[in-house]
Amino acid sequence: MSSLRIIGLIIGIIGLFLTFRIYRGLKWKKLNFLLFGLSSIVLIIISLNPNILNTITGMLSLEQAQRGRILTLLIFSIILLWFLVLYLKTRLDDYRYQFDLLVRGLGREQAERENIQKKLHDKQIIILIPAYNEEKNLQELLKEIPKTIKNKNVGVLVIDDGSSDRTSEVVKDAGYIVVRNKINRGGGAGLRLGYDIVKHSNIQTCVTMDADGQHDPREIEKLVKPILENKYDLVIGSRKLGKWEKEGHLRSIGLPIFNFIINLLLKTKITDCSSGFRAFKTRLLQSITLREDQYHTSELIIDAAKKGIKIGEVPITIRKRKYGTSKKGKDIKYGLNFAKAIIVSWWR
């Protein structure tokens, strides 16, 4: 017996022993027991009789290759590892979802303690703003938000996404409602908490906008108007149709590419899939699935388009940020994660 077979036999025996030692009794887990147990048994059998691989090696046309049986074993090991990675990824996503429910639940408890639903009962339009360390920008932004639009009362709900500055205090000083996430999780996670609160109210229309001051509150009416006229269910503020200061060469190139991909996949005519300035009927929140924490701007558009919801666009102006820096990250990283969010949202 070669040294390699001896090593394989020893590893298989140790693996089988550890399988029974670890995954029995109180730590009994059927799937883990079967996975590690069968892997150890297969390794023992192959180490004792490597000829068992000859048939599979022949099927892969590796019988003439040097160390063909080892190559066969490596191929199947890679396949096994790939399935293991997918399994772990699924479990991780489940844990992330449960964590998301926990954090949002804490936020809803705060909303209940502070009777936020009562404070919103006379509002027909809500401006939902996720914010992370944006006290200076919010001091100016909140002053510009209109109190009424088309004779409908406008409310403001800011989700403080774990800020370490005076973001929450600034919102309260302005006379508006703030709910705080215990930790920073991203704009998408902040919006989900806001949606949880909004969809259990009588508010008819929801507007989302950034806290950095780049969205002009004077254009909120422009977004809301097609919703109130029942022309669209979701209206996106498009910088492509309006005016904006380009943030960088890569993003200038990336936006048309992402628009093209989404339009190709969903047969839409979107010109600004990364816009966070939008308005929609709050009843949509009952049917839309949202999971993205950070790169979330395209997620609502994609899921709405898949469900046949009427989507429109209006031109908007993107203003230059006055204070602080963007939370979006570097161009390349942002682009890769944004592309991933598009693929995941479409595939879901």
How deeply is 67 buried, as exposed, middle or buried, from its count of CB atoms within 10 A (0-12, 13-18, 19+)?
exposed
Residue intervals of the chain classified under CATH 3.90.550.10 are 123-347
Q: Determine phi and psi for 155, rounding to 5 degrees.
A: -115, 160
Model confidence over 283-310: pLDDT tens digits? 999 888 888 888 788 889 999 999 999 9
pLDDT score of 74: 77
User: Distance (Å, rounded) from C-alpha 58 to C-alpha 310?
Assistant: 56
Q: What is the mean pLDDT of the chain?
A: 86
pLDDT score of 66: 60
* The two three-digit tokens of residue 269, written as one number: 């005519």
Question: Given a cut of 70, is residue 327 above it in pLDDT?
Answer: no
Give me the percent of the chain exceeding a pLDDT of 90: 43
User: Distance (Å, rounded) from C-alpha 44 to C-alpha 22?
Assistant: 19
pLDDT score of 17: 86
User: Distance (Å, rounded) from C-alpha 173 to C-alpha 65?
Assistant: 76
Length of the chain: 348
Question: Given a cut of 80, is residue 87 above it in pLDDT?
Answer: no
Please name the residues in contact with 342: beta carbons below 8 A apart, sequence gap of 6 or more: 258, 261, 262, 273, 298, 302
Q: Which residue has the tokens 């102006």?
A: 317
Beta-carbon count within 10 A of 245 CB = 11
Model confidence over 158-195: pLDDT tens digits? 999 999 999 999 999 999 999 998 899 889 999 999 99
Model confidence over 232-285: pLDDT tens digits? 999 999 999 998 766 655 666 778 889 999 999 999 999 999 899 999 999 999
Do the beta carbons of residue 122 and residue 153 sit within 8 Å? yes
Question: Given a cut of 60, is residue 79 above it in pLDDT?
Answer: yes
> Residue 63 — pLDDT band, cuts 50, 70, 90?
low
Pick the CATH number of 123-347 from 2.40.160.20, 3.90.550.10, 3.30.360.10, 3.40.50.720: 3.90.550.10
